[in-house]
Structure 1
Amino acid sequence: MSTKHKDDRGTSRLKVYVEIDREIYTILRDVSKSCGLNMSGYIRSLLYTHLASRRDNTETNNR
């Protein structure tokens, strides 16, 4: 993942978003397991799409 920005604010903000999204992914994965569902692939693809979208928006805003 490329995190080249004109300033450090975008980079540090992206790192915070990634940490939050990892926590959300972990919670969703645990909930899906406890419900007897195997949704981890679906959840992972949603998370990656969300992260890519957020990264693109952050890079666009920092240009």
Structure 2
Amino acid sequence: MAITNPFQFLQQVRAEVSKVTWPTRKEVMVTSLMVFAMAILTAIFFFFVDWMIRTGLQFVLNFFGG
């Protein structure tokens, strides 16, 4: 692998960065809000799943435990 000097490296980096399609501010906001919304929905879902498992386990332990 050939070693390039720092100046050539920076030129190549600039060329590659110019090819990137950057999202607009609106796209970033919408996708960020969707990520937060999905995280909240997932947390609520797992809260209820955990609650149902805990309730069921307590019922079983109380039924057989005495």
User: Higher helix proportion, which one?
Assistant: 2
State the TM bucket, normalised to the shorter chain. Answer: 0.3 to 0.5
TM-score using structure 2 length? 0.46
TM-score using structure 1 length? 0.48
Using CA pairs below 8 Å that are at least 6 residues apart, which structure has the higher relative contact order?
A: 1
